Structure 1
Amino acid sequence: MPLILALETSSPVCSVALLHDGALLAASELRLDKSHSSHLTVLIEQMLSNTGFTLAQLSAVAVADGPGSYTGLRIGAAAAKGLCYALGLPLLAVGTLPALAHQVARQIPGAAGYRFAPLLDARRMEVYAALYRADGTELLAPAPLILSPESFAAELAEGPVVFFGSGAAKFEPLVAGQPHALFVADVQPAAIAVARLAEAAYARQEFRDVAYYEPFYLKEVYTTTPKQG
């Protein structure tokens, strides 16, 4: 009976969840900006203490794989890899976009009749986007997308698409009046969805190399040198 600890740090929300044999035991989140590095381990310790489990009883650790915040993803990956290395546990990595789609699809009645498009804000009019069926089938792979009124035109012509995530609000005005474009507000990545997809990955033994695992940033990270005064 696997006991899986899931970490989600790809967005401003820092969340953790504990799943035991398909049953959600606990979940906790903190919506404080830049709180991941100082609060992630505290959330884990408190959750395990509240449920009566210890780190030694874990079967695996799952982490949100990205795309998302570069710093947040690095913090989550470091914590997950540290736990796996110290405890000799397998590491699972779950994509942020499929986890978001799974999260929303579970809440939509008749979800099989819709397709689900998570949009993560990537600044200006750019988002990280993908498209999934309710059962998790990938229709469009995660990719950077500059939003325009023509975005998802072919998909919307075929039928209803549900848009959500931190970048959805930028897209909604561009497709105002399009009857097949549906929007769900205030959807943030959550460790619960990561845990549920991680359990299926655990059953398939889709483990990642603890030593060499890196998050899926989707785009290269650019750094600049401060200008001299």
Structure 2
Amino acid sequence: MILAIDCSANLCAACVYDADAAGELGREVRDLGKGHAEHLMAVIEEALEKSDKIFADLTAVAVSVGPGSFTGIRVAVATARGLALALKIPAIGVTTLEALAAEARQDFAGRAILAALDGGRGDIHAALYDELAVLRYGPAAITLEEAVAMISAAGAPPVLTGTAARRISEAAGHPFDLGPLAATADIATYARLAAGKGPGEKPKPLYLRDADAKPQAGFVLPRVGG
């Protein structure tokens, strides 16, 4: 039984997910904008109540680690790690970019996907996944020009998803298939991805500043298989 929490954007969200049945049991989602710290535990308790579960029923805690709201991510990750420690269960981190890419993949199976969020100061926070959902670049902070160069060199046009998707498409000068244009994915997506990952390193906030590695001019999306 997985508890998933997300405070990476305006929403303060939690859900309880049955990994064995691959189904959500209950959720609570509040559009706060800010003030996640004051509301998160109440949101979690409401999700548990709706699912008819208690803390002792949980086997893992999934959490969005960003990129996104600096304060919201810190609150969610600290809460997830605290619950995991108290309940002696694993905490599993999922990035907003991989969650958005997973949602886009539901409508565009077998396609490369560029998940991209507006990062402020002109930055775009991006991650590129190939046709088999393997991470090929990022997560990193890049410029709009670098994003356009990346997709131009990738061969078959990727699906664009996230808040920066439309801006990238317009800068490239031609339309792309678009996935969700939101700042975060549905809370159940985080739970589903965490169930597939299983325990690993303790989650920590993903804060992207200047990219440590920029896409090269000759960047191409590596082909896997065929």
Q: Same fold (TM over 0.5)?
A: yes
Q: Deviations over 1:80-138 (max 9, x none)?
A: 112112212211111221111012211x1x511x2111111111431110111354211
CA distance in 2, matches of 1:25, 1:134: 31
Count of aligned pairs between the two proteins? 205
Partner of 1:186: 181
Q: Deviations over 1:159-203 (max 9, x none)?
A: 1311121222332320232x5x2223532323211111100112x
* Contact persistence 2:164–2:181 (CA under 8 A): no
Do the aligned partners of residues 48 and 135 (structure 1) sit closer, same or farther apart at CA in structure 2, a change above 3 Å counting?
farther
Unpaired segments of 5 or more residues in structure 2? Answer: 211-226
Q: What TM-score does the superposition give when structure 1 sets the normalisation length?
A: 0.81
Partner of 1:227: none
* Contact persistence 2:27–2:46 (CA under 8 A): no
* Contact persistence 2:151–2:157 (CA under 8 A): no
1:144 paired to 2:141: yes
Give the one of 196, 201, 207 matched to 2:200: 207
CA distance in 2, matches of 1:135, 1:15: 29
Q: Given residue 23 of structure 1, which amino acid in structure 2 is its aligned partner?
A: G
Q: What TM-score does the superposition give when structure 2 sets the normalisation length?
A: 0.82
Give the one of 156, 159, 173 matched to 2:156: 159
Q: Point out 4+ residue stretches in structure 1 off by more than 3 angstroms.
A: none
Structure 2 counterparts to residues 122-133 of structure 1, below 5 A: 122-133=119-130
Q: Given residue 150 of structure 1, which amino acid in structure 2 is its aligned partner?
A: A
1:217 paired to 2:207: yes
Give the one of 194, 198, 204 matched to 1:198: 194
CA distance in 1, matches of 2:91, 2:190: 13
What root-mean-square deviation, in Å, do the aligned CA atoms of Structure 1 and Structure 2 show?
1.9
Q: Offset of 1:144 from its aligned partner?
A: 0.7
* Contact persistence 1:105–1:134 (CA under 8 A): no
Do the aligned partners of residues 134 and 151 (structure 1) sit closer, same or farther apart at CA in structure 2, a change above 3 Å counting?
closer
Do the aligned partners of residues 23 and 134 (structure 1) sit closer, same or farther apart at CA in structure 2, a change above 3 Å counting?
farther
* Contact persistence 1:13–1:188 (CA under 8 A): no
* Contact persistence 1:115–1:162 (CA under 8 A): yes
Partner of 1:18: 16
